[in-house]
Each structure stands twice: as structure tokens, then as C-alpha cells.
Amino acid sequence: MSGLPLDADLPWLRPAQQAFEAAGAADRLGHALLVEASPGQGGEWLALWIAARVFCRTPRAVTGVGMGPCGACLDCRRVLAGEQPDLLTLRPIEDSKEIRIDQVRDLASELALTAHAGGRKVAVITPAERLNRNAANALLKTLEEPPGKALLLLVTGEPWRLPVTVQSRCTRLRPRPPSEDELVAWLQLQRPGSSAVDWRAALTVIGPQPLTALGVDAAAMSLLRRDTERALEEAVQGGLDVVETADRWGKDEYALRAACIERWIADRLREWGRGKRALPAPALFEALEHAREARLWAETPINKPLAMERILWRLATLRPRS
């Protein structure tokens, strides 16, 4: 869990919090919500905030949102501690990357029982894109007719990976995408005294996932980025041992390296657009495509050193125009 308190301010989530409040006030809140933010973007925190809003008996006014959970009452504290008996959470079981059908069935029978406090039950499914096909199918009936007054919250940063049948049964809560400047400012606020930390580098490597960034070693992340970029410059100059480097990167921090490479090439293309540095654009686009594929394949059993080699060779055969 994120460890953030319920009264934390995550500005990019505010529109979604506001939409939830407005829908509740107008009595047009569905019984299944698709929270379109990954756990690292605050999606899980938002789901807990909503759950606490449902259970909290002493809600308070929140600027720019409407009302929110107090964060201090017994119900709010139980939500944060994962001890609220009417709040159920489905995650991939350890060692499995999937949420499975028996988990969904268990959830459905739990929801059918009367709530401990006699009110609503809330179920959080996170990250929802990990529901496997059978589990997603089994969930359809519950999404359509949740027992009692259950509220289902599906948290995902990749809603398009959910079956359309699941998506169409949910009301979407869509936070706005935060800017990098906003995230850096937010991270500095969360970690006072971290002005020396290169948060921008950390975000480059892990993507716009501020809550994940809070948990990583930002200094190690900056080093990895610098090391990768130095090697890419060497590749372009023709001085890199491509095979050795690709082999090393394929085996160590592959996904992070791939993210750094993609960002670096995109930056070179921006320079080209501004006429600053003349690396040939068509070849850069090609290398960027290779890098994107390499990053997307991170969780598949592809030959990773080979994927790295493909990018590095493309860069090694680039030449500055003058």
C-alpha cells in the first residue's frame, strides 16, 4: 500500500475525486467504477479514498473536490490498515501474475454475505488488467448485478487490456495525466530535503508513476540513466562494444534500460526537430521503434540481449552529418 494518508493531495487525481463526489451527490453513481490510473499513479490510493468515503461517518469538506473521508475515524483508519471487514481486495496471488477465476468466485460469495456494519461492501480489484480471461468472464455477472449494495472498484493504468464486456459495465473515473513538472514538484513536497535527488531521471526510467518513484532508490536510478546514455553516445560515435553491452543490458535491468533508451532517442529526435543536432531522422525513428518494442516486450520471454543488440546496432550505424 502507498502509505499516503487519506487527506493527501494528489492534484492529478482531483478531477476523478470530484467526479465521484458529483455522481454520488446526484445519486447516479454506478455500482462498478473503472479507476483509470495504475497503482503507481495513485489508482490504488484513489480506490482506498473512495472506500473510506463510503465507510467514513464524519466526512469533511475538501477544497476542489467536495467532500472526502475524515481520515481519522475508526472506519478510515481500518481502511488504511487493510482491516475494514467490509472492504475486500483482489490482487494477483504471489508468484502468479494473474488474478484467477477462483479468486473472483470467492469475492462474489463474500459480497453476497451481509455487510458487517449493515451498510455497503466495497471490493477493490488491482491491477485489474491482471484478471485472466476466465476471471474476467466470471466477474461479468457480479459487475452487472452486484449483490447487496456492493461497490466494485477496478484499478488499472491499462484499461484497454480489459475485455470490452468488462469496460462497458463500469463507469469510468479518469484522472488527468500529470505533467512531469507537476510530478517533480509533488515528489519534492513528499520528500522534503530531496532537492538533490534527480526525480526527473527517476520518472524517465519508471514512467509517470509518482507513487512508485517514492519507493525507488532515485540515486541508483539516475546512475543507471547516466550509464545508459553514456553508452548510447559511444554507440553513435562508433566506440561501443555492442555485443558485450547488449548482453549485459539484456540480463540486468532490461526494462529500465529500454525505458532510458527510448527516452534518449526521443530527445535526439526533438533536437533534430529544432535543427540542433543532425543525426539522421529516419534512422532515429527506426531505432525509436526498436526501443519501443524492446520495452513492450519486457515481460515476455524474448531474447533480450538480441533485442538490445538490434537497437544498439541501429545507433552504431548512425553518423552525424558533419
Interacting residues toward Zn ion by CB under 5 A: 56, 69-70, 73, 76
Among candidate residues 187, 214, 153, the one with its CA nearest the CA of residue 1: 214
Q: What is the rounded CA–CA span in Å between residue 317 and residue 314?
A: 5
Nearer to Zn ion, 76 or 258 (CB): 76
Q: Rg of the chain over CA atoms, in angstroms? A: 23
CB of 58 to Zn ion, least distance (A): 5
Nearer to Zn ion, 53 or 268 (CB): 53
| Residue 163: cis peptide before it, omega within 30 degrees of 0 | no
CB of 265 to Zn ion, least distance (A): 48
Nearer to Zn ion, 69 or 210 (CB): 69
Nearer to Zn ion, 73 or 101 (CB): 73
Cell of 243: 555485443
Among candidate residues 203, 233, 86, the one with its CA nearest the CA of residue 245: 233
CB of 241 to Zn ion, least distance (A): 59
CB of 70 to Zn ion, least distance (A): 3
Which amino acid is present at 106? D
Nearer to Zn ion, 21 or 262 (CB): 21
Nearer to Zn ion, 72 or 101 (CB): 72
87-90 and 122-125 as β-strands: parallel, antiparallel, unpaired?
parallel
Nearer to Zn ion, 24 or 30 (CB): 24
Q: What is the rounded CA–CA span in Å between residue 312 and residue 289?
A: 12
Nearer to Zn ion, 81 or 196 (CB): 81
